[in-house]
């Protein structure tokens, strides 16, 4: 059969990557919310296409997806302040019962990057997946405890490996390891927390807010984001309709920071009594010592209830 061609233009979410909680190769997407990776995300204005060719033999399918993302002061301004075209592409292969992707991104202000991902079903109920990406010439801003900001420039390697397993009683287990090559080390995070503490002491002693203002600026620009350190585990266990309770899906989610040994645990219950209506309640508990990612959270726990209607 001949190749099929599709073209798209507009505001769109490109779902690149095989990971559940993180996607290092999702070059044209916003980062997922680690507390709710399945939540819908806002897309970017872009143009993309798909050229798909199916074949006989070990290489069953090949697809090429070019992407052009315009940047200006009026459109996609999160990408930069100057007018430019960010270009990229993904090449998909289905070979030897394995999904494979190779992707890249290139721009003027945006750091060039390249990566790949894969997914393979070992059996009908057991899947493995992974992805890796390099951000070339990445510049990480690091603040010391005196408030001096310095730039650490290097090629950052981010990667993920995970499994998805479905048990006989319809329980799904997702487990992933994520290496954030753009993240901070324990010493770098300790320096930032020390900067905050020193700024607070200066304010209480003399009313000087210089340190607090500086740490707040650094936090807004660099530090106040999810999974800011290097190594993480993610675990989600979901049981569909336990004890034959129709439309009920309980789950437990945990994110563990390997570097500082802090943790987040979230029990969740989802109830979907009718089509296109979903009721959800979740409670998140965090634990960790001082100067750790979860130990320094403003709140030790939170409860979120939501009602979602699809139409």
pLDDT tens string, the chain, 311 residues long: the values are 557 889 999 999 999 999 999 999 999 999 999 989 998 889 999 999 999 998 888 888 999 999 999 998 889 988 987 888 999 999 999 998 999 999 999 998 889 999 999 999 999 999 999 999 999 999 999 999 988 999 999 999 999 999 999 999 999 999 999 999 999 999 999 999 999 999 999 999 988 888 899 999 999 999 999 999 999 999 999 999 998 899 999 999 999 999 999 999 999 999 999 989 999 999 999 999 989 999 999 889 999 999 999 88
The pLDDT score that the predictor gives to residue 305 is 95
The pLDDT score that the predictor gives to residue 2 is 59
The pLDDT score that the predictor gives to residue 43 is 94
The pLDDT score that the predictor gives to residue 34 is 92
Neighbours of 205 (CB within 10 A): 8
CATH number, domain with residue 178:
2.40.160
Residues 6+ apart with CB under 8 A from 258: 230, 231, 232, 233
Residues 6+ apart with CB under 8 A from 39: 32, 33
The pLDDT score that the predictor gives to residue 298 is 87
Helix axis angle, 210-218 to 186-206, nearest 10°? 150
Domain of residue 43: give its range: 4-309
Number of domains in the chain: 1
The pLDDT score that the predictor gives to residue 81 is 76
Q: Which of 234, 227, 200, 232 is nearest to 214 (CA)?
A: 200
∠ CA 37-121-118 to the nearest 5 degrees?
A: 60
What values do phi and psi take at 240, rounded to 5?
Answer: -90, 125
The count of C-alpha atoms lying within 13 angstroms of the C-alpha of 64, restricted to the half-sphere facing its C-beta, is 5
| Residue 118 and residue 98 in contact, taking contact as beta carbons nearer than 8 Å | yes
Distance CA 292, CA 278 (A): 35
């Amino acid at each position: 059969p001949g190749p099929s061609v599709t073209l798209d233009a507009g505001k769109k979410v490109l779902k690149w990557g095989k990971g559940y909680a993180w996607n290092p190769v999702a070059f044209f997407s916003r980062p997922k919310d680690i507390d709710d990776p399945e939540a819908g995300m806002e897309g970017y204005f872009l143009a993309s296409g798909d050229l798909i060719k199916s074949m006989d033999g070990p290489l069953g399918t090949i697809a090429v997806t070019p992407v052009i993302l315009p940047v200006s002061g009026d459109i996609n301004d999160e990408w930069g302040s100057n007018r430019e075209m960010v270009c990229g592409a993904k090449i998909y292969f289905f070979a030897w019962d394995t999904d494979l992707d190779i992707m890249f991104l290139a721009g003027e202000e945006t750091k060039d990057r390249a990566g790949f991902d894969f997914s393979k079903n070992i059996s009908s109920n057991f899947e493995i997946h992974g992805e890796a990406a390099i951000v070339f010439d990445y510049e990480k801003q690091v603040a010391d405890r005196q408030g001096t900001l310095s730039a650490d420039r290097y090629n950052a390697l981010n990667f993920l490996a995970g499994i998805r397993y479905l048990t006989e009683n319809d329980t799904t287990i997702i487990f992933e390891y994520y290496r954030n090559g753009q993240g901070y080390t324990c010493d770098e995070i300790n320096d930032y927390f020390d900067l905050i503490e020193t700024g607070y002491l200066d304010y209480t002693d003399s009313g000087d807010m210089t340190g607090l203002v500086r740490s707040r600026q650094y936090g807004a620009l660099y530090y106040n984001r999810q999974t800011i350190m290097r190594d993480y585990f993610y675990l989600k266990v979901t049981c569909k309709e336990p004890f034959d309770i129709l439309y009920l899906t309980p789950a437990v989610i945990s994110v563990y920071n390997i570097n500082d040994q802090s943790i987040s645990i979230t029990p969740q219950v989802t109830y979907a009594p009718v089509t296109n209506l979903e009721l959800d309640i979740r409670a998140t508990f965090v634990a960790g010592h001082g100067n750790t990612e979860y130990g320094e959270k403003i709140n030790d726990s939170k409860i979120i209830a939501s009602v979602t209607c699809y139409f």
